[in-house]
Amino acid sequence: MESISTEKNEIARRQVIGFSREMNSLEQWVADPSGDLRLFSVSGIGGIGKTTLLTEMFRRAKQASLLVLWLDGQSELTTSGAFLSSLEMSLQNEYGRFRDPDVPLLPYLVAELSKQRSVLVMDNCERLDLIESWLLSSFLPRLKDAEVLLVIASRNGLPVKWRTNPLLDGRIQTFPLKLFSREEIHEYLRDSGLEEAVQKEIAQKTEGLPLLLAMIVDLQRSREGDVREIPSMLSAEFLKEVASPSLFQALTVLSLLPAADQPAIDNLLDDPITASGYFELGKLSFIRSTPYGLSLHHVVARLLREEHARRNPSQFRRQRLHVFKLLAEQFRLADKRRQMQIAAHVLELYREFLPAAHAYADFSSTLKPQEHSPYRAEDLPDLQRFLGWSISNSDWQSELVDPREYHELLETIATDHPEGIFVVRDPGGTPVAFCAGFWLHAGTMPLLDRYAPRLSSILGEDSSGLRLLPAEAADTICVLLAAVNIRHPLYRPEELGALLMRQWLIFMTRGFKGINITADPNLNSLFSLMGFKESGRIKPEGPEDTGGLTQWELDFRQAAFEEWVQKVIRQTGPADDAPNMPMPGAGQDLSVPIDGKTVKRILERLYDTEQLERIPSVRALHLPAAALQKNVLDLLMAEPPAYPLTKLEQQILRESFVRKEWNKNELAARFHMSRTTFYRHSRTALEHFAHVLSRLV
């Protein structure tokens, strides 16, 4: 029996954080007078704290005067004989109990464990399968009425065979361990002896993996070793699970992808993995299956990427570029939810190129964007409070609106048009940041005139069209207010600013256009760095308004996600790092602005060559109107339709602009869609047709 005293002493030097749910369950079992056989299944990736939890449970059970035995699965669960011998030696060494030579080993151990409330703590149980049949058929049935608790820790948890066994029905509690929250990270750091500034930096740049946090703190305390070596050290720890060099190469590739099936992984490997190799990948503790293939735990993925970039920087950049092009192609074909996931992953892949020292946004933080959660009425008091603090600091807000009306404007948006509020929440669901404005359509334009009367002058000819646009067709939002919780005890304002910007951008990649207007030089610089396009200026209104206002736009309605990413990276990164080569299927001359809006104008004037030639984008093509008309009609009738245009989208465009026999409501009914769904399909059809037409001309 291997002693755990050394390991326990090592862990005791570290503060034990978290585990309240797990320890409460232990206390409840200890206090339950009708206690019977129970199993706790503790699972999680390497470094998540399984051994720490088991050591704490061992200590608490000892304090409660229970009989407590520790087994190491790596050496003591290989055979039933080794398991029983280890229990016997533990009883001898820890409790001075010896078996009479005439008593068989198994009945003796069952009797000893049944005499009093007992706990068996079993760590490193990855190979429990070696003796699980014997445990389930011969050992555990003898203890079914005994007050015995088995605490079993493994990376992947107990197999299905255990969870479906009739004997154990209702006796198993599962404890999948999670990363530390930001609050738990600060709690861990509080007694570390490190300076407060160092603690804040560590909290900002670690992702809650206990082992990673402990290693960084130890290195900072000792000032021996280089923190930059940690990804390599932890990568080696994770790769203990990997059985072959080929799987290691596949993991390196998978660290660059949000999720991938076997063909996608093979596409980035010199030597493709086998079907059995792909199956083995799926069994690793830090990999989960998704509808899109295997996905690596985000902390493990980041550490493997950092190690890859350090070990072979040129290969890392080449593979990252290849992945970017692959994801750009997937983005065009993905549904809206998947597009948001791809956008989030690409921003993470290229996070090093995003601003790390800006007055409003620090993207070096490891805060991870959450799933988008809509505004709720109970959020308003928090948002009004953030807004009040922001006003007092004179930051984030649009000078288009009178500051005295900020609170009223937010109340109006929340009451009449809550879809215009974008909320960012912490992992517990509490708001930490927001931005708010109006989706531009017939119902909101009068409110925009009321609160931001100068905007109409900058919207130009689009303003009249927006005043007739139904709400369900709106695809442009004008942001007027934004604020973060600048008094949050755990997150710095710049972190929250970056998180707000990232999550809003990810949301907008679903095919929307955003407008922001400001005179704040810090916001002007941020919008420029983040790939916004300057689209107009509003002159100063009076002597006190000296700077004027700049309008910034970001337009994802034409599925130009990859071009936006290229622009952001090229502004801040070395030329050889920027993914600036043509994307798959993107052969168009970007100097000729053919987008969904242009295609709509072309289709509306398709049979009027004189009107057709007056469209600025058509003039820029240097193509006779008659030739353009023929090309468009050929594309509308082509069988099969040119990629990425689908047959349904082709039919929608033909019925809407060529045959024109039905109005919008009738068309929606004809295609068995709601009016809102029909508008959405129509916009996508125009975007895809623009993509096809751009390649053709």
Residues 544-555: tens digit of each pLDDT: 554 578 888 998
Euclidean distance between CA atoms 680 and 321, whole angstroms? 31
Count the Cβ atoms, other than its own, within 10 Å of residue 310: 14
Buried b (16+ CB within 10 A) or exposed e, 396-424: bbbbbbeeeebeebbebbbeebeebbbbb
Question: 227: pLDDT confidence band, cut at 50, 70 and 90?
Answer: low
Euclidean distance between CA atoms 145 and 140, whole angstroms? 10
- For residue 247, the model assigns a pLDDT of 83
Is the CA virtual torsion 651, 653, 659, 662 positive or negative?
positive
- For residue 224, the model assigns a pLDDT of 62
Q: Which residues does 418 contact at the CB level (< 8 Å), separation at least 6?
A: 374, 375, 377
Considering only residues 595 and 422, tell me which one the structure prediction assigns the higher pLDDT: 422
Residues 128-145: tens digit of each pLDDT: 888 999 999 999 999 988
| Residues 418, 412 contacting (CB under 8 angstroms) | no
Single-letter residue type at 515: I
With residue 549 as reference, give the H or E element that holds it.
strand 549-555
Question: 593: pLDDT confidence band, cut at 50, 70 and 90?
Answer: low
Is the CA virtual torsion 610, 611, 612, 616 positive or negative?
positive
- For residue 228, the model assigns a pLDDT of 65
Euclidean distance between CA atoms 624 and 637, whole angstroms? 20
| Residues 293, 526 contacting (CB under 8 angstroms) | no
Listed in order, strand segments (DSSP E) in 311-430 are 421-425
Residue 368 has pLDDT above 80, yes or no: no
Question: 340: pLDDT confidence band, cut at 50, 70 and 90?
Answer: confident
pLDDT average, residue stretch 223-231: 65
DSSP one-letter code for 432: E
pLDDT average, residue stretch 370-384: 91
Residue 260 has pLDDT above 50, yes or no: yes
- For residue 485, the model assigns a pLDDT of 93
Sheet of 118-123: strands edge to edge? 67-72, 118-123, 148-154, 38-43, 172-176
145-154, 263-272, 511-520, 549-558: range with highest mean pLDDT: 145-154
With residue 261 as reference, give the H or E element that holds it.
none
- For residue 434, the model assigns a pLDDT of 95
Report the range of poorest mean pLDDT among 5-9, 130-134, 343-347, 605-609.
Answer: 5-9
Query: What is the CA angle 415-416-419, rounded to 5?
Result: 95
With residue 337 as reference, give the H or E element that holds it.
helix 336-349
- For residue 481, the model assigns a pLDDT of 93
- For residue 354, the model assigns a pLDDT of 80
Is it true that the peptide bond before 640 is cis, omega within 30 degrees of 0? Answer: yes
- For residue 40, the model assigns a pLDDT of 96
| Residue whose C-alpha is closest to residue 684's, from 632, 649, 640, 638 | 649
Euclidean distance between CA atoms 29 and 23, whole angstroms? 10
Euclidean distance between CA atoms 396 and 297, whole angstroms? 34
Residue 682 has pLDDT above 80, yes or no: yes
Structural domains in the chain, sorted by start = 5-176 (3.40.50.300), 377-561 (3.40.630.30), 596-696 (no CATH)
Total residue length of the chain? 697
| Residues 298, 368 contacting (CB under 8 angstroms) | yes
Residues 295-327: tens digit of each pLDDT: 988 888 888 888 888 888 888 888 888 898 888
Question: 38: pLDDT confidence band, cut at 50, 70 and 90?
Answer: very high
Residues 490-526: tens digit of each pLDDT: 888 888 999 999 999 989 988 899 999 888 877 887 8
Residue 154 has pLDDT above 50, yes or no: yes
In 605-646, where does DSSP find H-type helix?
Answer: 609-613, 616-621, 625-637
Q: What value does the mean pLDDT of the chain take?
A: 83
Count the Cβ atoms, other than its own, within 10 Å of residue 47: 22
Q: SS3 string of 105-154?
A: HHHHHHHHHHHCCEEEEEECCCCHHHCHHHHHHHHHHHHCCCCEEEEEEE
- For residue 9, the model assigns a pLDDT of 43
Considering only residues 612 and 622, tell me which one the structure prediction assigns the higher pLDDT: 612
Query: What is the CA angle 543-549-552, rounded to 5?
Result: 175
- For residue 13, the model assigns a pLDDT of 43
- Percentage of the residues of the chain whose pLDDT score is greater than 90: 28
Question: 11: pLDDT confidence band, cut at 50, 70 and 90?
Answer: very low
pLDDT average, residue stretch 415-420: 95
Residues 464-481: tens digit of each pLDDT: 888 999 999 999 999 999
147-151, 244-248, 543-547, 651-655: range with highest mean pLDDT: 147-151
- For residue 588, the model assigns a pLDDT of 37
- For residue 46, the model assigns a pLDDT of 84
Residue 589 has pLDDT above 90, yes or no: no
